[in-house]
Amino acid sequence: MIQKTLKSAGHDLAEPTFQLRVLNTPVAGSTHYLPKFRAKLAEANLYPLLPTGIDIFQVNVGKLCNQTCRHCHVDAGPDRREVMQRDTMELCLEALRHSSIPTVDITGGAPEMNPHFRWFVEQVHSMGRHVIVRCNLTIITANKQYGTLPQFFADNGVHIVSSLPFYQQRNTDRQRGDGVFERSVQALHMLNAIGYGQEGSGLELDLVYNPAGAFFPGPQASLESDFRRELQKHHGIAFNKLYVITNMPISRFLEYLIDSGNYSDYMEKLVNSFNPAAAAGVMCRNTISVSWDGYLYDCDFNQMLDLPVAAHAPRHIRDFDVELLAARTIATDQHCYGCTAGSGSSCTGATA
Amino acid sequence: MQNTYYNPADLKKFGDIAEFQPELAKKFFDYYGQVFAEGALTAREKSLIALAVAHAVQCPYCIDAYTTDTLEKGVTEEQMMEAVHVAAAIRGGASLVHGVQMMNKAKALTM
Ligand code: SF4
Ligand code: SF4
């Protein structure tokens, strides 16, 4: 399934302002406004939301991807042209050099499709930082050149985090496209063969589960044991941890929610499942997110919604300043309910 | 008065039964919560049993609730449908096993 991105289809929902308007108005046929996220934060004594520091430097190196998954919050796909240039990467490295942020999390799109990807990873690795790459797995099987990625990852001590919505083909392909499950299994075998996910190898391979539909993820621990048992039994695949992520009601997942008639129930359920403990642990409190063109955001979701860091903080990587950024307030809106429902949700799974 | 007996929106109002009788409602919901908690059976197993029973009692609210709940607990679609077959087999079997009673009676009445 290679479908068009919202952007190239000229869909209204490709526009961040339109998405925010949808999230801030009552659903069709109702006059009922959902409570404001900031009011919920205030009830939990968390408003304004403040950072606890910067532990993770997340770089989105572009929206280009070999897939067009139905739930994608980036609206990534083969038709996107926004890709981080080398000079912006140089600015990222410069910012890292002047800080001691321990973890660099590289995402996309399919980050490996950025022509400067390998160079960037090598540079960050040589600075002694922990490098995470959000790899969609299928890219490894896309052609011969990408087939050398597992060895490249291993050589650079890359911690791999990969989406696999389910341990069965049907549910995975419905969300990520026909044949994705099979190619993901093939890629996981290649990674396992090199030592990834194997005990004692030091090469970490974590998987990400997100529901293939308009429902919430269940408890992380029990899903992890299901994944481990089933992937081992049917495919001989090993991995380290499973992160459980709630689908964010923005971009293509928002389109799916509206088209399938699930939007209002899903939003209501997110609001009703607001958990103050999860809110206290949201990832924006220890993350800074850099876009392909060098702008700074509180998280990758805010980045996609064009909600920049607060005006009193540096807004571009060329002005990066850890202290000023640590003193900022975090920009929140109605989509933030996606991070605070139940056990919470972040790039590293549950937060509460 | 609405003109259908079942309205999906009523599921969310289940808790409202306390309006007419708070004490018993509280007892019921406390009990209900405990029944579905992790115990000798996992919460996942209990959810699957609930899905099967929902089909046996043909309660649309319960089918709605436990379809969502089993999906959230990571139950596969095959497992969900097999649970429905368990309900169907027990219901079908319960009818058929009474066939023995019918046969007994028929044999008693006929030459
Ligand atoms: S979810 Fe990931 S793999 Fe899928 S289209 Fe988006 S960026 Fe690509
Ligand atoms: S969406 Fe971003 S800003 Fe909002 S709570 Fe989640 S991580 Fe924080």
Mean pLDDT (whole number) for B63-81 = 96
C-beta of A335 in contact with ligand 2 (< 6 A): yes
Q: How confident is the model at residue A3 (pLDDT cuts 50, 70, 90)?
A: confident
Number of domains in chain B: 1
CA atoms within 13 A on the CB side of B8: 5
CA of A109 to the centre of ligand 1 (A): 6
Range of the domain at B87: 43-111
Residue B100 in any domain: the answer is: yes
**Residue B105's CATH number:** 1.20.1290.10
Q: Give me the half-sphere count of Cα atoms (radius 13 Å) on the Cβ side of residue A275.
A: 16
Q: Is residue B58 part of a domain?
A: yes
Closest residue by CA, ligand 2 atom 7: A284
% of chain A exceeding 70 in pLDDT: 99
Q: Which residues of B touch A (CB under 8 A)?
A: 42-44, 68, 71-74, 76-77
The answer to whether the complex's ipTM is over 0.85 is no
Q: Is residue B82 part of a domain?
A: yes
Render pLDDT for B4-53 as a digit per residue (tens, 0 to 9): 889 888 999 999 999 999 999 999 999 999 999 999 999 999 999 999 99
**What pLDDT band is residue A28 in, cutting at 50, 70 and 90?**
low
Bigger pLDDT: B54 vs A29: B54
Residue A334 pLDDT > 90 = yes
State the Cα–Cα distance between residues B23 and B101, nearest whole angstrom.
44
**CA B91 to centroid of chain Cα atoms:** 12
pLDDT above 50: residue A1:
no
Task: Give the amino acid at A119.
Answer: W
Partners of residue B66 in chain A, C-beta under 8 Å: none
Which residue pairs, CB below 8 angstroms and at least 24 apart, start in A298-304? A298/A330, A298/A331, A299/A58, A300/A58, A300/A60, A300/A73, A300/A74, A300/A107, A300/A347, A301/A73, A301/A248, A301/A250, A301/A335, A301/A336, A301/A338, A301/A339, A302/A331, A303/A60, A304/A16, A304/A73, A304/A74, A304/A75, A304/A250, A304/A251
Query: What confidence score (pLDDT) does residue A153 get?
Result: 98
Q: Work out the pLDDT band at B61, boundaries 50, 70, 90.
A: very high
Is residue B32 in some structural domain? Answer: no
> Does B37 fall in a domain?
no
For residue B5, what pLDDT is reported? 87
Q: Which of A275, A208, A222 is nearest to B48 (CA)?
A: A222
A284 Cα to the center of ligand 2, angstroms: 6
How close is the Cα of A137 to the center of ligand 1, in Å?
10
DSSP labels for A58-122? EEE-BSB-S---TT-SS--BTT---B--HHHHHHHHHHHHTS---EEEEESSSGGGSTTHHHHHH
Give pLDDT tens digits for B94-110. 999 999 999 999 999 99
Q: How confident is the model at residue B9, as a pLDDT?
A: 87
pLDDT at site A29:
65
B85 located within any domain: yes
- Is domain A18-340 given the CATH code 1.10.3470 in the classification? no
Model pLDDT, residue A31: 73
Distance between CA B74 and CA A165 in Å, rounded?
A: 11
pTM for this one? 0.92
Paired tokens of A44: 């939990």
Q: Which stretch of DSSP H or E encloses residue A289?
A: strand A287-290
Protein residue with its CA nearest to atom 1 in ligand 1:
A72
Torsional class of A219: left (φ above 0), alpha (ψ -120 to 50), beta (otherwise): beta
Query: Under an 8 A CB cutoff, do B42 and A213 touch?
Result: no
Of the candidates A296, A253, A259, A274, the residue with the CA atom closest to the CA atom of residue A343: A274
For residue A92, is pLDDT > 80?
yes
Domain ranges of chain A: 18-340
pLDDT value at position A32?
79
For the segment A125-144, the average pLDDT, to the nearest whole number, is: 97
Lowest average pLDDT, out of A15-24, A65-74, A165-174, A270-279, goes to: A165-174
Establish if B9 belongs to a structural domain.
no
Residue A293 has pLDDT above 70, yes or no: yes
pLDDT tens figures, A234-279: 999 999 999 999 999 999 999 999 999 999 999 999 999 999 999 9
